[in-house]
Amino acid sequence: MNSPSLSTLARSPRPPTMAGQRLPPPSASSSSTPAPTSSSRVLHFTGHSRFRHRLILSLLSRRPVRIDRIRPNDDNPGLRVYEVSFLRLVEKLTQGSRVEISYTGTSVLFHPGTIQNGQITHQCPLERGVGWFLEPLLAIAPFGKKDLSLTLRGVTTDGRDASVDVVRTSGLPHLAMFLDKEGVELRITKRGHPPLGGGEVTLTCPSVRSIKSGFEFTSLGRISKIRGIAHSVRVSPQLANRLVASARSVLNRYIPDIYIYTDVYRGEDSGKSPGYAITLVASSTSHVLHSSESSSCPSPSSSSSSTPQTPEDLGILAARALLSQIARGGCVDRGWEWLVTTLLVLGGEDVGKVRAAGPLDAALIAHLRDLKAFFGTTFKIKPVSSLPSLPSAGDDDADAEATGAGKEREEFVLSCVGTGFVNTARRAG
275-311: pLDDT as tens digits: 999 999 999 999 999 999 999 986 554 444 445 589 9
CATH class of 223-328: alpha beta
Q: Half-sphere exposure of residue 171, counting CA atoms within 13 Å on the CB side?
A: 25
Q: What is the pLDDT of residues 66-89, one digit of tens each?
A: 999 999 999 999 999 999 999 999
Backbone angles phi, psi at 345, to 5 degrees: -65, -35
For the stretch 255-259, contacts whose Cβ atoms lie closer than 8 Å and that sit 24 or more positions apart, written own/partner, are: 255/223, 255/224, 255/225, 255/226, 257/224, 257/225, 257/226, 258/225, 258/226, 258/227, 258/228, 259/225, 259/226, 259/227, 259/228
CB burial of residue 409 (10 Å; 0-12, 13-18, 19+): middle
- Give the DSSP H/E element, type plus range, for residue 268: none
pLDDT at 351: 94
Mean pLDDT confidence for 399-405: 50
Q: Is 202 exposed, middle or buried (0-12, 13-18, 19+ CB in 10 A)?
A: middle
**How many residues are listed for the chain in this entry?**
429
pTM of the model: 0.85
Residues 415, 365, 126, 92, CA torsion sign: positive
In this prediction, residues 97-107 reach a mean pLDDT of 95
From first CA to last CA, the distance across the chain in angstroms is 19
By mean pLDDT, which of 164-168, 272-276, 402-406, 410-414 is the weakest?
402-406
Average pLDDT over residues 370-395: 77
CA dist 45 and 56 (Å) reads 14
Which residue from 267, 270, 251, 269 is spatially nearest to 259, judged by alpha carbons?
Answer: 251
The three-class DSSP label of residue 229 is: strand
Taken in order 330, 368, 293, 179, the sign of the CA dihedral is positive
Task: For the domain covering 1-112, report its CATH number.
Answer: 3.65.10.20
What confidence score (pLDDT) does residue 1 get? Answer: 43
Taking the domains of the chain in order of start, what are their residue ranges? 1-112, 223-328, 332-425
